[in-house]
Amino acid sequence: MTTATNVMELECSECRKKYDAEVEQHLCTCGRPLLVRYDLKQAATTLTLENLSKRARTLWRYREVLPPGDPVTLGEGMTPLLYTARLGASMGLRRLYVKDEGLNPTGSFKARGMTAAVTRAKQLGAKTLAAPTAGNAGGALAAYAAAAGIPAVIVMPADTPSANVMECQAFGATVVKLNGLISDCGKYVAERKDREGWYDVSTLKEPYRVEGKKTMGYELWEEFRGKLPEVILYPTGGGVGLIGMCKAFDEMQEMGWIGAERPRMVAVQAEGCAPIVKAWEGHRDAAEFFANAATIASGLRVPGPLGDLMMLRMLRQTNGTALTVSDSEMLQAGRELASMEGIFAAPEGAATVIAARKLAASGWIKPGETVVLFNTGTGYKYSEAWQRALQA
């Protein structure tokens, strides 16, 4: 596969300072994340619906708008977009879909970010990959590191779901368990990375995970045949998918594929960890650290997301919103999604069902609008949470 690239440079998401994309880069000197900028005019000459129809069914089909390098791939992306008529009818929605990211390698959408990040890290000569994780990102990083032949160090809270611990160990990663949250795990990596020579793959601390995750937006466009849905509900922790999809829509507009219209983006968080919802409700531009974060949706247990400014801006720009769901609502919705539609979801994904129901009931979502829920991970990895729910 070609390693020709349309990548021009990296740009700070806040102060717009530019950086050389040919060398390893992490955060801007202002402390904020860097985003990848492409020659989109060039990309648009070959990235067309017609050409796409002939390409392999992995996210690397969007090669023109992805980082260069021989892809380290496990067949990620092109997940099913399922029309969920029965679930939709139960909340008065006629066009409700679930994008089932649980079918990715390692059972979550984290595979998308990691295929792109590990591909680039390998090309830049990374010796050891390290990341803090709420669970699924660690599993995905461990898998792609193994596929790339690069050692990985995964740092996770001690109470991370056991499936995530086991997969990391099986993939041969070094697993560090800490009594704390992902923010403490992040500090652990930050304090050691220079001394140990680790390449930091933390959420938004390298520019390429966003690139992998943005392909969810490209896939929706392709699956809806050159259109986008009216509403997207996304379970938001670090916010990489939300940021990635909005970036994809901006790129599509620049390539002339769509106009200025955007899907209304909805950030769904857990009651026990909702820094973005709190900031949104308080009409603030930035989020505060959410103290004593606790939820069974381990992926949503991100008390101090680095992408807060970007996420809040994107919710405003798309006329979106943000709302919380309780743990018991998530588990109840998970059972509904499973029994009505045959989709066994992660609690994070199930959270979007409750959020959609609330927004449909309040009239924020109209009955005929096209709505996509993101089930970001498989329910099979959450045996502890599901055991409790099913016994109750």
List interacting residues with ligand PLP (CB under 6 A).
Answer: 108, 110, 134-137, 203, 235-241, 299, 346, 348, 376-377
* Number of residues assigned to the chain: 392
- For the bound state, the minimum distance from the C-beta of residue 248 to ligand PLP, rounded and expressed in Å, comes to 14
Partner interacting with residue 356 (select from Zn ion, ligand PLP, none; CB below 5-8 Å by kind):
none
Rounded to whole angstroms, the Cα distance separating 360 from 185 reads: 38
Q: Which of 30, 23, 34, 65 is nearest to 207 (CA)?
A: 34
Other beta carbons within 10 angstroms of residue 85's beta carbon come to 15
Nearer to Zn ion by Cβ, of 35 and 359: the residue is 35
- Long-range pairs of 171-177 with CB within 8 A, sequence gap ≥ 24: 171/139, 171/142, 171/143, 171/145, 171/146, 172/142, 172/146, 173/138, 173/141, 173/142, 173/145, 173/146, 175/138
Q: Which amino acid is at 46?
A: T
Partner interacting with residue 15 (select from ligand PLP, Zn ion, none; CB below 5-8 Å by kind):
Zn ion
- For the bound state, the minimum distance from the C-beta of residue 326 to ligand PLP, rounded and expressed in Å, comes to 16
Partner interacting with residue 137 (select from Zn ion, ligand PLP, none; CB below 5-8 Å by kind):
ligand PLP
Using rule CB under 5 A, residue 30 touches Zn ion? yes
Using rule CB under 5 A, residue 10 touches Zn ion? no
Partner interacting with residue 25 (select from ligand PLP, Zn ion, none; CB below 5-8 Å by kind):
none
- For the bound state, the minimum distance from the C-beta of residue 161 to ligand PLP, rounded and expressed in Å, comes to 10
The only residue of 1, 3, 15, 288 in contact with Zn ion, by rule CB under 5 A: 15
350 CB-contact burial (10 Å; exposed 0-12 / middle 13-18 / buried 19+): buried
- For the bound state, the minimum distance from the C-beta of residue 34 to Zn ion, rounded and expressed in Å, comes to 8
Residue 177 pairs with which residues in a beta bridge?
A: 156
Rounded to whole angstroms, the Cα distance separating 187 from 327 reads: 27
- For the bound state, the minimum distance from the C-beta of residue 63 to Zn ion, rounded and expressed in Å, comes to 28
Residues that bind Zn ion (CB under 5 A): 12, 15, 17, 28, 30, 32
